[in-house]
Chains A and B, each alone.
With several copies, the nearest count.
Chain A
Amino acid sequence: MAIFKEKHYLRVKLDKETDESLWMQCKSCGELVFKRRVRENNNICPYCGEYFFLTAKERIESLIDEGSFTDISKPIMAADPLLFQDTKPYPQRIEEAQQKTGLADAIIIGNAAISGIVVVVGVMDFRFIGGSMGSVMGEQICHGMEEAIRNHYPFILVSSSGGARIQEGILSLMQMAKTSVVRARLAEQRLPFISVMTYPTTAGVQASIASLGDVIIAEKGAMIGFAGRRVIKGTIAEELPPNYQTDSFALEHGSIDRVANREYLREELSNVLRFFVRQ
């Protein structure tokens, strides 16, 4: 369930006037920063170290060997099986998201190399309806795993998602099962699956494919969990610890293997991949 308000997480807020400009303001420390410098710094504020959101493409750039990426996403986009309409019709939401992001849906699948190791990688984009998993994302993840099986590559999935996409109803829920059955095949083939959880990896995505990695690495600052703080507060009125559903909470409670700073994530991946790939 995409239960998060986007604005709460969109930490990079560009002034409309200066959108095209060279400068941006850090929401965390308030400093004006040269945008290229931020970009070159993995979208980390050079002043306060705050992580800004990475688009899927920025994430790919920051993780893989330069120039090694080939987009192998299936040429598909969302249909509207339920003729879903809330405050707008679903197709309109899709179109707006596509225009905002330049993506067909909330995930890109590609071939790439990480320190020379060839992998299939899937990267979610939170800007696209909260990175929500509908039929397209489910299909792309399965397609990615099948490509990995076909070519005997490791599979890497970088999650950034509020959960299942409500607008496709039960079909979104079924993507949790769908990705799981294909994940089982990947395991049968003894191919490694490294799951990278970033901010946020929650609800239907955390409760399915993202939690099924052979190794699970969280990016520092990730949010990881099933039911959001608001849901729990609403239902149970329980006091939640300050680190609730943070990377440190997940590590402490044993649901992930490691936490890595963004700038070391590439190295982290290359370190772990080396065990699984005979070179």
Chain B
Amino acid sequence: MAEKRAIELLEAKIQELRELNKMEEIDMSSEIARLAEKLEALKIDTYSNLSDWERVKIARHPERPYALDYIDKIFTDFYELHGDRLIGDDRALLVGLAQLQGKPVVLLAQQKGRSTEENKQRYFGMPRPQGYRKAKRIMALAERFSFPLISLIDTPGAYPGLEAEEFNIGGAIANNLLAMAKLPTPTIAVIIGEGGSGGALAVGVADRVLMLENATYSVISPEGASAILWKDKGKTRQAAQALNLTAEHLLKLGVVDEVIPEPLGGAHKDPQKTVASLKEVLIRHFAEVCNTPLEELLSARYKRYRSFGCYRTLSDR
């Protein structure tokens, strides 16, 4: 996109002028203000009509804030717990205790790597059965001590591999769905990046599902859908559009309760601002669920999931 290049150039220019402004006698603030205005207009032009496929790319942007970036800034005292007590530990799905607003919570966090080395360890953010079962173990802890549970979702999907199949990854996901359906404690899921199919849902059944503006959540990746439905790997843009995988669509479909705004151009353009938005929304919902009687939460959770779907009665035909 030519617009993106123009935005970058303009940003650089403004930065230069700001530096000059500090160092020299000459006052350039009116020039800076004018340029900033232009930049804003250009950004709105460029970003406010992002296609779904462009949002997919933003959701996957390598500089996008990852789970630990939010945990760092929104929670205190994150105390990671390791291991499923069965097979191993998984670095793509972290679990632990933390404080939110002075209250202890259990965190589930899908975490991608920044470097190649880190991505190797974290399997590019694709959890294995070890991760899902670690999550299930920590749900039991949440239940025993009535800790609310908060999931941060950001995964291309569960890890596809021989070992994962040997360790029954499908069964691991299924059992998490069941566990989260019943978990007698308030639960919130936040989709912060990629919500990759069953691999995301396995930690995403909750009383509140929140979603960043440019995050995606889908039954299949646009690449996958393109290959299967169009028998053509290149139809990712159309597939993304067809899948209704953006926050806006998901809000309309009732899958998501609230969309958390991102800075123009995406969360990575201003991580601090993104963190602040997410924190505000999360804390509001957190207070709500914590103040709702558990029976009510569970019954509402049941109704929410029981009612998903859209079909016609045959007399409509």
Contact = CB atoms under 8 A, between A and B. Distances in A.
Interface in A237-279: 238-241, 244-245, 249, 251-258, 271-272, 274-276
Contact of A181 (B166, B181, B249): B181
Given A207-B174, A255-B168, A272-B97, A3 B224 contact: yes
B309 A138 contact: yes
Contacts of B305: 174, 177-178, 180-181
Contacts of A181: 181, 205, 301-302, 305-306
B175 interface: yes
Nearest to B202: A207
Contact of A135 (B255, B309, B317): B309
Nearest to A180: B177
A104 B311 CA distance: 11
B308 A177 contact: yes
A232 B311 contact: no
B178 to A, nearest CB: 5
Nearest to B235: A86
Contacts of A13: none
Contacts of A214: 141, 144-145
Contact of B230 (A86, A215, A225): A86
A166 interface: yes
B104 A254 contact: no
Interface string A77-105: 11101101111000000000000000010
A157 B113 CA distance: 36
Contacts of A134: 309
A170 B175 contact: no
B243 A169 contact: yes
Given A170-B219, A180-B177, A256-B82, A79 B310 contact: yes
B219 A204 contact: yes
A27 B43 CA distance: 60
Interface string B293-317: 0000000011001111111111101
Interface string A148-183: 000000000000000010101111111111101111
Interface in B148-190: 158, 160-162, 164-171, 173-175, 177-178, 180-182
Given A170-B250, A211-B85, A251-B89, 5 more contacts: A86-B230, A185-B302, A214-B141, A257-B82, A275-B97
Interface of B: 77, 79-89, 97, 99, 104, 130, 134, 141, 144-147, 158, 160-162, 164-171, 173-175, 177-178, 180-182, 197-198, 201-202, 205, 217-220, 224-225, 228-230, 238-239, 242-245, 249-250, 253, 255, 301-302, 305-315, 317
A245 to B, nearest CB: 7
8 A-B pairs with the lowest CB-CB distances in the bound complex, closest first: A254-B83, A135-B309, A227-B160, A86-B229, A174-B308, A180-B177, A211-B174, A81-B310
Given A86-B230, A204-B219, A226 B169 contact: yes
A77 B219 contact: no
Contacts of A274: 77
Contacts of B244: 82, 169-170
B170 A255 contact: yes
Contacts of B307: 178
A178 B170 contact: no
Contacts of A82: 242-244
A112 interface: no
Contact of A254 (B77, B82, B99): B82
Contact of B158 (A182, A184, A226, A251): A226
Among B83, B141, B219, the one with the most A-chain Cβ atoms within 10 Å of its Cβ is B219
A67 interface: no
Contacts of A227: 158, 160-161, 164-165, 169
B241 to A, nearest CB: 10
A231 B160 contact: yes
Contacts, number: 262
A142 interface: yes
Interface string A194-225: 00000000111011111110110000000011
Contacts of A172: 219
B255 A170 contact: yes
B308 A85 contact: no
A61 interface: no
Contact of B205 (A79, A171, A180): A180
A22 interface: no
B144 A190 contact: yes
Contacts of A184: 178, 181-182
| Interface-central residue, A85, A176, A181, A271, by most chain B CB under 10 Å | A181
A203 B165 CA distance: 11
B179 to A, nearest CB: 9
B112 to A, nearest CB: 15
Contacts of B175: 211-212
B169 A183 contact: no
A25 B57 CA distance: 49
B220 A240 contact: no
Contacts of A210: 174
A274 B83 CA distance: 21
A206 B202 CA distance: 13
B89 A254 contact: yes
Nearest to A226: B170
5 contacts: A77-B314, A178-B306, A236-B162, A254-B85, A271-B77
